[in-house]
Amino acid sequence: MPTLAEVAEKAGVSIATVSKVLSNTPYFTEETRRKVMSAVEELGYLPNLAARALSSGKTHLIGVVFPYVYEGIFTDPLVQYILEGVEAECNERGYNILLSTPRLNPDGPDENYRRLLRSSYLDGIVALDNVPLSSVLSPDLRKNTPAVAIGYGDHPNYVRSDDLQGSTALMEHVISLGHRRIGILTVDESLHYSIQMRHVGLDQVAEEAGLNYAHLPKYDRGDFSIASGMQGASALLEQYDDLTALVCINDRMALGAIQQVQKMGLKVPDDITIVGYDDILSAQLFSPALTTIDQRAPELGHRAAQMLFALLNNENPDSVVIPTQLRVRESSAPPKVSRQ
């Protein structure tokens, strides 16, 4: 690959002049520009990005971080949409994306990841940070690099989906339909801040309606998967056969639950209401179509990236909470009089 020096020689100027022309720093003539550009053209010169990074301290690389919280993390719709949003913003500004998916150990994210972050090789970071046990953006890790968190970690700059408002709307919907015997299908809440927030929302609405949330039948050994939704529904209904509604912490578990109760001979929503959270593609396509919460994930990625670039621009952007949208579809209905 040709270097600045070769271009300079061919153009008959110094390498500083070439650098100036290429970076449009003032003080050169049109004549010089032409000489330089035609030398660049002829040689097919391209700047060496490593050298540029070393010299300028800027890599034009944005880290996008998703902790590896479960197998198949890239099939998580949240991940897809965030990636899409961040990519769009970066592409527009000529930045590249370095994708990192650290494995989480009890003592923090993996070594490679920690080195990467602390080495300040990245110009900025957007991280999905919702795992209480091990933050991918702890103060120690992010101190060298501007960062935006998507989630509930304790960061100065964050973008969040309004899980409280979403779960509130979901539970209000179910209760306003007339349901009182409600089962909850969820996961270990220590896994996720946003799940914790959803619980808070469910709890508040339940209490307001005179239900003791802590005493509602609960299956909390799910892992977000369809299979664990089936298991959960099966376990709950075996023990509490009078439930008229199942509120699920995500769509995949809800879809599993629907399949399971149908297998058990119940009709959704006639015999039992089932609702989810996320509004994945299958939620609309499934029969019955799933009542769920759209957390508008594409927005999360866009806003997070915009905030990061504002930060890089030395502005002081405000953190953002993005409201969700209840999608009422076919899987929820008032309880049957006979089972009520």
Binding site residues, a second copy, CB under 8 A = 1, 44, 46-51, 53-54, 59, 61, 64, 72-75, 77, 80-81, 83-84, 87, 91, 94, 96-101, 103, 112, 115-116, 118-121, 144, 226, 255, 259, 281-282, 285-287
Q: Which is nearer to DNA, 1 or 214 (CB)?
A: 1
**β-strand partners of 62:** 97, 124
Tell me which amino acid residue 284 is: Q
**Contact indicator for 57, 68 with CB cutoff of 8 Å:** no
- Number of chain residues interacting with DNA (CB under 7 A): 29
Does residue number 319 form part of the binding site for DNA (CB under 7 A)?
A: no
Least gap, CB of 37 to a second copy (angstroms) = 15
The beta strands (E) that lie in the chain are given as: 61-65, 96-100, 104-105, 108-109, 124-128, 147-150, 158-161, 182-187, 218-222, 245-248, 273-275, 292-294, 320-322, 325-327
Distance CA 9, CA 36 (A): 10
- The residues in 29-58 that bind DNA, with binding defined as CB under 7 A, are 29, 31-32, 45-48, 51-52, 54-56
User: What does the per-residue mask of binding to DNA show for 200-239, with x meaning CB under 7 A?
Assistant: ----------------------------------------
**β-strand partners of 109:** 104
Q: Which is nearer to a second copy, 45 or 219 (CB)?
A: 45
Distances (CA, A) of 37 to 9, 18, 29, 228: 13, 9, 12, 62
Distance CA 80, CA 324 (A): 18
Least gap, CB of 39 to DNA (angstroms) = 12
Q: What are the residues binding DNA (CB under 7 A)?
A: 1, 3-5, 13-17, 19-20, 22-23, 25-29, 31-32, 45-48, 51-52, 54-56
